[in-house]
Chains A and B, each alone.
Chain A
Amino acid sequence: MTSTMLNACMRFIALFTAALLMTLTLSGCWNRRELNDMAVAIAIGIDRVDEQYEVTIQTVDPSQMSNNRNVDRFPTRIYSEKASTIFEALRKVTSKSSRKIYLAHLLLLLFNEEMARDGIKEPLDFLFRDHEVRPDFNIAVTRGYQTKDVLSIVTPLEVLSALDLYRSLNVSQKLWAPTAAVNINEMMVMLTNDGVEPILTGLTLIGDLNKGLSADNVKQPRPYLYFKFKGIGVFRKDRLVGWLNEPDSKSFSYVNNHVSSTVGSVQCPGSKKRFAIELVKSKVSREPSIRNGSPHMKLIVHVSGNVGEVQCETEINDKSIIELQELASEQLKSIIENSIQHVQSQYGVDIYGFGANFHQKYPKQWRQWRTNWNEQFAQMSIEVQMDYHLRLIGKIISPFGNNPQQKKE
């Protein structure tokens, strides 16, 4: 009995040692740290200041995240450091903070406009390279403000302003459309792939900057300072070259199938009033082709929408619905056509990624076009074909006052 016990003991020791060796040698990067030893960074802003990077980090004060929090302290902390590389700047922060900055939960990366115009490839290198960073945060460019200021504002809905920005960006892309929630993976694809140029959404502040930086900003229903995502920035390689206006931004979202729902208004037939349409489904399919040796792109726009608001004086019936549908379809078509023309003539960079479609379909021709694709894009003829359907008209049929039954009475 004792010998079997001894054997079992030896076996256990052998197994344990084997397991220990395996775990020690097979482990990649593992590092034990307790939750209360780290400062969770949720947003990073990178400003170009005097040939250096000024890195601003928004971290969370975890004690302020519990239910019974102390209102005297603010839930976020901002640290700012200047250095010639991002990595150095981040490490410098530890001299101001008792906890190590933890980057895995980064939600938002901001560049100021100067930085974006200067080129974002270099600052992005660290974020692509570092093992701790999880590549799912969104990127935006601040317009007219330093990222340091944008990250310091106090926002009303979420306790953490970066979370507010992050959610707002994602919701507005889905439900309003003239913004683009670009995450770092998509950015990497846009930077490295042929035939597509990067874009980033713009972010600006509106109101009184000084008042907006204190908690007073959220103590009233209308804040002194609030943020707004505004327009889509067009990049050539990694440099910002300009901004799209709202209709162009919206059209960009359509063409790239970012829209899941949005609202648009169209002029009524025969009057200056308008009716609004809620788009519930939108899909644009692309048919690249070659005409006379040069690229030609056909876009087929499949849209379903519901009538959401009617100011027109016509009755709503089967015939007039078709009329409204025609008008809405025409308008969307012209918006898309105009905006693409606009991008072609003003910037001449293929932010839509049409080049990638040609690359896939015509790899041989692509080799010739590849070097000067943006010139090809600027010259390219675009054809838009509409497939527009109005489905529902809501809970009432005709607008108030034009109900035929009421008129009879």
Chain B
Amino acid sequence: MKSQIDQQLFSDRLDDNKRLLLDLMGNSTDFISRDLKLNGYIPIALFYLEGMVDITAVQEGVISSLLDRAQQLGGPINPETIQQHILNMGEVGLELNIATALDHLLSGSLLLLLEGHCEAVVVHLPGWEDRAISESSTQSVVRGPQNSFNETLRTNTTLVRRRVKDIRVRLKTIQIGKLTKTDVAIMYVDGVADPKLVDDLIRRLEHADYKNILEGEYIEELLLEKKQQTIFPVVYNTDRPDTIAAGMLEAKIAIFIDGTPFVLLVPSLFVDFIQSAEDYYQSYFYSNLIRLLRYTALIICMMGPAIYIALTTYHQDMLPTQLLLSLAAQREGVPFPAFFEALLMEITFEILREAGIRMPRTVGQAVSIVGTIVIGQAAVEASIVSAVMVIVVAITAISSFVIPSYGMSIPIRICRFGFMILAASFGFLGLTVGGIILILHLCSLHSFGVPYMSPYAPYNKSKQSDAILRFPIRNHSNKGEQ
């Protein structure tokens, strides 16, 4: 059926066209057709999807100008005259192919057919209910731009274009998905982004053979290198327009997907995931302290329980005597080995966390109360876990929220369990070997051909001004050269 209409053209009989369109749309109730008579005698039909087009514009712009202006114009009425003289809309085109015309219709266009002409006038008049631009919910800042992307592609690209007003900003749109026909747009600064990368990206997107694209992750998986298996994210995503703009100025390419507020940025390096937009909006001195704090939190998040296990089951001689005795005092009467105790608490916390994300907002408080009481008090009082373990798990959990990118906190949390097992089996020796394997793995990764751990490995001296620390902005390559 579908392949049949792929090449089919409109006929010059309005009735046939109308019947065909209604047939193809399966008489959907939101598919509206409206008959008019131009100059009182020329039959004309309008087709649109209710809710997808701007209905005021249809009534006041299209219908009234058709009725009024056709009369003023005099002379013969055909699709060309309608396109050129009658309609005062921005985007008006002509289309012979039924399938293409329907595609336009489905993305919020109005089709206009005339008796005796086999060309459809396509008026692009999208207008649907949209979520307002609001504050970023995943990466909020104290100081800095507060707006974030919403679900509409054009709004999102505009938010970025407003930040970089340069003619070299390029935007290319590709439709992906046989069913969803999702608009995917790539945006980059010409002359800044690597042209090979741009070509490669476009090629990969054009060859994407997907039925549907509903979110950026679909594209992300498409962009992964086939051989590369990793739990670490190699494509950055954010709903902050300023981060995307900054990324584009650093030679990255933004990928917008219609229908999601999360915009992808490639190539992405490890450092991108542990830097926050606010690093650049606060004084560099403070930002650097915060960065150091963040690295500490990252290590605690990954290694906290593992270090506790290693210290208390293998390396008791490394603890100060008083600390050892107070730890030992708390472990008295706890029936489980330290590893099992840690695992129990970590899993409990992960359950609570997942529940906190999934459940309806209104019952959120109930879960947090239960969580606090269960983890914080009852477990300790019942001597199932020691109080120190609760402290360790709590600090680990809080540390995981310090990592600015949610995408990076996931692999770190997964690694935590691996490190716990290593610590329970081999102590610090296991942690050391685990750490080495992790670093080797990270160094072997690439994001679009760029080594994941750069600028540390391979070391790039000129980029160190914004790597571990952020040097004052005047020291970056931010001078006004072209």
Contact = CB atoms under 8 A, between A and B. Distances in A.
B460 interface: no
A33 B338 CA distance: 10
A336 B333 CA distance: 57
Contact of B331 (A11, A23, A34, A69): A34
Size category of the binding interface on chain B: 20 to 34
B433 A34 contact: no
A42 interface: yes
A36 B337 CA distance: 9
Contacts of A15: 437
Given A4-B226, A132-B317, A62 B329 contact: yes
A158 B425 CA distance: 36
Contact of A60 (B313, B325, B426, B433): B325
Interface in B427-475: 427, 429-430, 433-434, 437
A78 interface: no
A396 interface: no
Contacts of B332: 36, 62-63, 66
Contact of B433 (A7, A23, A102, A104): A23
A30 B314 contact: yes
Contacts of A26: 429
Interface in A319-335: none
Contacts of B328: 35-36, 40, 60, 62, 65
B324 interface: yes
Interface in B321-376: 321-322, 324-334, 337-338
Given A40-B328, A65-B328, A35 B316 contact: yes
A325 to B, nearest CB: 42
A65 B337 contact: no
Contacts of A34: 312-313, 331, 337-338
Most chain B CB neighbours (cut-off 10 Å) among A11, A32, A60, A64: A32
Contacts of A42: 321
A388 B462 CA distance: 57
A179 to B, nearest CB: 21
Nearest to A159: B325
Interface size of A as a range: 35 or more
B437 A19 contact: yes
Contacts of A71: none
Interface string B181-193: 0000000000000
B314 A66 contact: no
B229 interface: yes
A32 B437 contact: no
B426 A27 contact: yes
Contacts of B330: 66
A72 B437 CA distance: 51
Interface of A: 4-5, 7-8, 11, 15, 19, 22-23, 26-27, 30-36, 38, 40, 42, 60, 62-66, 69, 102, 104-105, 107, 132, 134, 160, 163
Interface of B: 226-227, 229, 312-314, 316-317, 321-322, 324-334, 337-338, 422, 424-427, 429-430, 433-434, 437
Given A65-B325, A102-B316, A105-B317, 7 more contacts: A4-B226, A30-B426, A32-B424, A42-B321, A63-B332, A104-B317, A160-B325
